[in-house]
A and B are shown apart, each in its own frame.
Chain A
Amino acid sequence: MKVSFQALSRHLDLAGVTAERVAEVLPMLGLEVESVTTFGLAPLPLVVVGEIKSFDKHPKADRLSVCQVDVGDGAIRQIVCGAKNFKAGDRVPVALPGTVMPSGFTISVSKLRDVDSAGMMCSSEELGLGKGEDGLLILTPRQPALGTPLNSLFGAPDTVLEISVTPNRGDCLGIRGVARDLAAALGLTLKPLTVKTPAGLAAAPSAADAVKFVRSSSEFCPYYTLRTLKNVKVGPSPEWLRRDLEAAGLRPINNVVDITNWVLLELGQPLHAFDAKKVSEGIEARPAREGEEIVLLDGKKVKLETGVCVIADAQRPLVVAGVMGGAESGVTDSTTEVLLEAAWFRPGEIRRVARRIGVSTDSSHRFARDVDPAGVELASRLATDLLIELAGAQPAGPTVAVGQPPRADVTIELPAGYVAAKLGTPIADADVSAAFARLGFTVKASATGFSVLVPSFRSDVTRPIDLVEEFIRIHGTDKVPAGRPIAPLPGDEDALTSVFTREVSARLVGAGFTECCHYSLRDAAELERTLGADKAALVAMDNPLTAEQTHLRASLVPGLAGALALNLSVHADPHGLFEVGTVFRPQADGTVREFISVAFAIVAEPVTRSWKSREAFDGLRAKRLLQDAAALAGVASVRLSFAAANGGLWQADHAAALVDRGRAAEGACGVLDLRWTRSLGLKSSVIAGEVCFPRSAFAEARKIPRFEAFSSFPPVTKDVAVIVPVDVAAAEVESRVRQGAAKAAGKEFALESVNCFDVFTGPGLPEGHRSLAFEIRWRHAARTLTDEETNQALGVVIATLEKGAGWTVRR
């Protein structure tokens, strides 16, 4: 909201207070000042009124005129001018040599295309008065005397403060509200508002009135007033009114509309003026009926939602109540009789309707923030004064109010010591009551503290805690000292998701990966690739802003692949990249679950050449990183199983999908789909890994490990090689080895490890088979194992393995 210093001065005596001071004080009251600008004509003593006596075409330039100008000093000056909108005899602003224009340009005596020019005739824009008509600012209609300094025509410049008003301060959407707060802060007194039109409204029109009824049958309009004004002469508003509106950023239209807008700015109460001749029989605030439509002032045709409050006559809706008027019933140049509406509408409903129609007007903005019911009639009276004064209007019947103001002043019982207790610092009772008095609240001592009467213009102050805020606004937050030292509370620990994020990030940074951060909102194509089209639809948003950000991400891998491509395209070696963040994955039960995901990606071939080569990063290193990450999340490696990953982000036959037997983790690792990564501009294949955990996986507190004793005797190691069909997974064979070896150890001794140390395909093996060799290690807790025992144990393993169809142990 734009508030000018002159406007504030109407309500307060600001002698000795600068606009800069106001701009410092308002923010500390909660009224943030977003900008401070000058409005009107800056001091320009050398710009005076001149008359163009005659002019000729410039001999060398078609677009220029050579004018003979009189500024009343007895000499005729020659000035070259580029404008076209004048005629001989026009009076215009003339900047005499020496003038420094608002743009910083200095006017001097000069030659323009070889013709002498002693000054400049000015446009509205050149004078800093905003964009006016094209060409010179024509002063002729004002009939100013020659030589008059322009400043004396325009008055002193004003300062306009653009204030950001928080939603709780509807009262500051009127200049008087801002002035009231400023007065409280500066210890000044608000000037009384003088209104000539008397108070008092009838309950219904009389029989003689042209308007036959005024009613409200809408729950959203508990209080409605209407006045009639005859003999209205619609025309342009006077200079001061136009200026006030322009300072506030509004465009003057005609005196009637301008007056309603001026009162809205002044008091924060929206008004509406109808052309009485276009209203059939009477006015009713009523629920819209099914199928009703209205063409709004902005020309937009709106189908009204059944039940929204409209202001209607006997036949049709005229206004969407509190939001926007209709095109048909508004005031025009031919209007002679005006119905002036001032009302109170339910704030929540106005907000809802305005959003639904998709408009926000000065009216709806204010009604949505709860205008002062006590100010409704006042605003109507003030506007009536002005209509009489500026449009020659005559009050006529009816002058009616239906319903009752829905809110009144509120009394708050403020317990003694409450304010000090909330602030945490001693405060004198006298300071508390003085602050409230400055705000216009009435304070009385009560048995338990204070009784504070809060006027209805402050609908946001209803509880003792609200009074604490009011007090601190006036008292000053700088007077509250920093509080007591704080001791931590024992036993409180960080959420395990946070611990995990920290630890896994440190692990990956140590492994050479650089952390990235991508948007969570992705496009449809990415999600279809990640999840398939059916599941992708489950993570689509309802109201995305752009086509690139329509879905929630289900994987961090596409972001990382994109980042690799980006870095390579700018010739930066990305090395490995990783990210930790939330992903969203559809579940079998139809819900979408949030997972904490850890993902990394790296191009397989080194980007930077080196004097010494290193083994390329491959899917197996990715697998190890995933297992380590899972262990940090409390998911032991034994719980994880890997199977071939096919489709989606991953390259068939070159990637693994990870499954957690405890159903907590999901993931995959290996080579990314080569067609896809090539389409991103990545020439080399990309190795990536991702493992993610539902939040619930972190719910259990981490167990403190217990020490287990270990044997001091040597182990025995045996090797076994088994030939199996190639489609048998290594994990299956290993599991069988483990099973046999554990069975062989029984309770007597223990299986310590099973380790696959050789995989062989080639000559000497049957077609379609491969050989897997395992090292088995047993150990006894209390003695050295004998050869006989271990040979027997190996026999058990061999027997177990040879139960597999087509499995042969190599001997």
Chain B
Amino acid sequence: MQQQLAQLVAAATQEASAVATRAELEAFKARVVGPNGSLTQVMKGMATLSKEERPVVGKLINEAKKSVEELLATLLVKVENAEIAAALGASVDPTLPSPDAPAGSLHPLSRTRERILASFRKLGFVVADGPEVETEWHCFDALNTPADHPARDMQDTLYMPKAFRSADAPRKADEAILLRTHTSSVQVRTMLSRNPPFRIVAPGRCFRRDAVDATHSANFHQVEGLWIDRNVTLADLRGVLDFFVKETFGADAEIRLRPSFFPFTEPSFEMDLRSPNLGRLSNRWLEIMGCGLVDPKVLELCGLDPKEWSGLAFGLGLERITMLVHGIDDIRHFYNNDTRFLRQFA
């Protein structure tokens, strides 16, 4: 009996080496431990044995059964491995490059814009917007710059023909329709449509009738801010701008307010920046933005009582800030869209 069992296990072990698929495994399993399997037959023979023989033979059978079960478990792993290998195909070389294109990138002007907006959001300024094609009233008159005002000479304006009708900026009377020269027109629209207090920043595209060169572009971008509240002061303006500059250019950047003139602010200033981290432009005063307290006349034109309300406003050129932050020397790079430029800021 003992010899018979040993032969059985040896035969099964030998047979197992040929098992490669799940079907072969099942067939093999049936041949050994199935109802008519070889081991099952031996176990059936137990009944014919004497009481004395049974424990001895039983032990031998159990050992053989254990061997067979181990053999089956090993085969199952082998078969499953073969199946997985077949499902996955050949192994990969993890050092090969991905054939897929990398993530894209935001335009440097967008990145700078979002950074600037994030700074002002911390101070409670929310983003406002308005049409790029504007009425003369929203772009100039409401900003205290009537037609015969010499401040209109400060910029050359692109106009649409008389027949042009804008769905977004309908005429109030028969004023001209133009391409906005600044995003200050959004300030006007906000003052007309919202009740103060509020703080807004208006990023957007502006246009001037300028020949294109290294520092001029027919269209450019501004970010303008407006804060209308009771008792807004020059100290508030300084606080806001100081915060912005330190956020954008680092804690060691300083500002100065240099008196200037804009028709829509009084007093008006140019804000200059000085920073040790601007490459060859380090440590000298650079003109960054115009700002001031909102002229009472503008509040009045926009339906706010200057006795109750006051405000501050500022406007910066997105291209200029981006050029300073990244050391870009020519504004035309922004509009050429050479990806060797664009991807540098990813």
Which A residues have a C-beta under 8 Å from some C-beta of B? Answer: 27-30, 32, 166-169, 347-349, 351-352, 355, 368-369, 421-425, 463, 465-466, 468-469, 472-473, 477-478, 480-489, 492-495, 497-498, 502, 505, 508-521, 538, 540-546, 549, 552, 559, 563, 566-567, 570, 572-578, 581-582, 584, 587, 589-594, 610-614, 694-695
* Contact for A483 among B128, B154, B239, CB less than 8 A: B239
- The minimal Cβ–Cβ distance linking A512 to chain B, given in whole angstroms, is 4
* Contact for B126 among A477, A494, A587, A593, CB less than 8 A: A494
CA distance A307 to B297 in the complex (A): 31
Indicate if B283 sits at the interface (CB-CB under 8 A): no
B124 touches A488 (CB 8 A): yes
Indicate if B158 sits at the interface (CB-CB under 8 A): yes
At the interface with chain A, which of B25-33, B73-81, B257-265?
Answer: B257-265
At the interface with chain A, which of B40-48, B53-61, B206-214?
Answer: B206-214
Chain B at the A interface: mostly helix, strand, loop or mixed?
mixed
A515 touches B159 (CB 8 A): no
- A482-B239, A575-B104 known; A610+B338 contact, CB < 8 A: no
Chain B residues, Cβ within 8 Å of A480? 234-235, 238, 257
- The minimal Cβ–Cβ distance linking B301 to chain A, given in whole angstroms, is 15
Chain B residues, Cβ within 8 Å of A514? 104-105, 339, 342-343, 346
Chain B residues, Cβ within 8 Å of A613? 99
Indicate if B289 sits at the interface (CB-CB under 8 A): no
User: Top 7 nearest A-B pairs by Cβ distance?
Assistant: A348-B148, A424-B233, A424-B235, A488-B124, A469-B267, A166-B261, A483-B235
Chain A residues, Cβ within 8 Å of B339? 514, 567, 572-575, 577
Interface flags, B152-168, vs A, CB<8A=1, else 0: 01100011111011111
B residues 109-142 with Cβ under 8 Å of A?
Answer: 109-110, 114, 117, 121, 123-124, 126-129, 131-133
- The minimal Cβ–Cβ distance linking B317 to chain A, given in whole angstroms, is 14
At the interface with chain A, which of B1-9, B10-18, B62-70, B197-205?
Answer: B197-205
B residues 224-242 with Cβ under 8 Å of A?
Answer: 231, 233-240, 242
Chain A residues, Cβ within 8 Å of B148? 347-349, 351-352
A477 touches B256 (CB 8 A): yes
Chain B residues, Cβ within 8 Å of A348? 146-149
CA distance A308 to B179 in the complex (A): 29
B342 touches A481 (CB 8 A): no
CA distance A424 to B257 in the complex (A): 15
- The minimal Cβ–Cβ distance linking B242 to chain A, given in whole angstroms, is 5
* Contact for B209 among A425, A543, A563, CB less than 8 A: A543
Indicate if B251 sits at the interface (CB-CB under 8 A): no
- The minimal Cβ–Cβ distance linking A738 to chain B, given in whole angstroms, is 35
* Contact for A488 among B123, B160, B334, CB less than 8 A: B123
Indicate if B100 sits at the interface (CB-CB under 8 A): yes
- A477-B256, A519-B219 known; A167+B209 contact, CB < 8 A: no
A368 touches B150 (CB 8 A): yes
B205 touches A541 (CB 8 A): no
How many A-B residue contacts, CB cutoff 8 Å?
A: 274
Q: A468-B267, A493-B126 are in contact. List 18 more A-B contacts (CB 8 A).
A: A30-B259, A349-B148, A424-B236, A425-B234, A465-B296, A469-B268, A477-B269, A484-B235, A517-B107, A517-B337, A518-B337, A538-B164, A541-B179, A543-B209, A576-B101, A577-B339, A590-B165, A611-B99
Task: Determine the residue in chain B with the shortest Cβ distance to A544.
Answer: B158
* Contact for A567 among B97, B149, B234, B338, CB less than 8 A: B338
B residues 245-262 with Cβ under 8 Å of A?
Answer: 256-261
* Contact for B338 among A167, A493, A572, CB less than 8 A: A572
- The minimal Cβ–Cβ distance linking A491 to chain B, given in whole angstroms, is 10
Task: Determine the residue in chain A with the shortest Cβ distance to B260.
Answer: A30
Interface flags, B277-302, vs A, CB<8A=1, else 0: 00000000000000001011000000
A512 touches B293 (CB 8 A): no
Chain B residues, Cβ within 8 Å of A559? 337
- The minimal Cβ–Cβ distance linking B325 to chain A, given in whole angstroms, is 16
A27 touches B159 (CB 8 A): no
B231 touches A421 (CB 8 A): yes
Task: Determine the residue in chain A with the shortest Cβ distance to B271.
Answer: A477
- A489-B124, A545-B209, A695-B168 known; A484+B239 contact, CB < 8 A: yes
Task: Determine the residue in chain B with the shortest Cβ distance to A591.
Answer: B167
Chain A residues, Cβ within 8 Å of B296? 463, 465
Indicate if B102 sits at the interface (CB-CB under 8 A): yes
- A425-B235, A480-B235 known; A545+B104 contact, CB < 8 A: no
CA distance A518 to B333 in the complex (A): 11
* Contact for B123 among A167, A486, A521, A576, CB less than 8 A: A486
Chain B residues, Cβ within 8 Å of A424? 231, 233-236
B133 touches A584 (CB 8 A): yes
* Contact sample, A vs B, 8 pairs, CB 8 Å cutoff: A30-B258, A422-B233, A486-B123, A510-B103, A541-B158, A570-B338, A575-B104, A610-B99
* Contact for B261 among A168, A477, A563, CB less than 8 A: A168
Indicate if B50 sits at the interface (CB-CB under 8 A): no
Chain B residues, Cβ within 8 Å of A483? 233, 235-240
Chain B residues, Cβ within 8 Å of A29? 259
A517 touches B335 (CB 8 A): yes
Chain B residues, Cβ within 8 Å of A541? 158-161, 179
Chain A residues, Cβ within 8 Å of B270? 32
Indicate if B340 sits at the interface (CB-CB under 8 A): yes
Indicate if B106 sits at the interface (CB-CB under 8 A): yes
- The minimal Cβ–Cβ distance linking A17 to chain B, given in whole angstroms, is 20
- A521-B207, A543-B159, A594-B131 known; A489+B335 contact, CB < 8 A: no
Indicate if B218 sits at the interface (CB-CB under 8 A): yes
- The minimal Cβ–Cβ distance linking B334 to chain A, given in whole angstroms, is 6
A167 touches B154 (CB 8 A): yes
Task: Determine the residue in chain B with the shortest Cβ distance to A581.
Answer: B205
Chain B residues, Cβ within 8 Å of A493? 126
B335 touches A423 (CB 8 A): no
CA distance A483 to B159 in the complex (A): 40
- The minimal Cβ–Cβ distance linking B219 to chain A, given in whole angstroms, is 5
CA distance A594 to B237 in the complex (A): 33
Chain A residues, Cβ within 8 Å of B165? 590-592
B259 touches A469 (CB 8 A): yes
Chain A residues, Cβ within 8 Å of B179? 541, 552
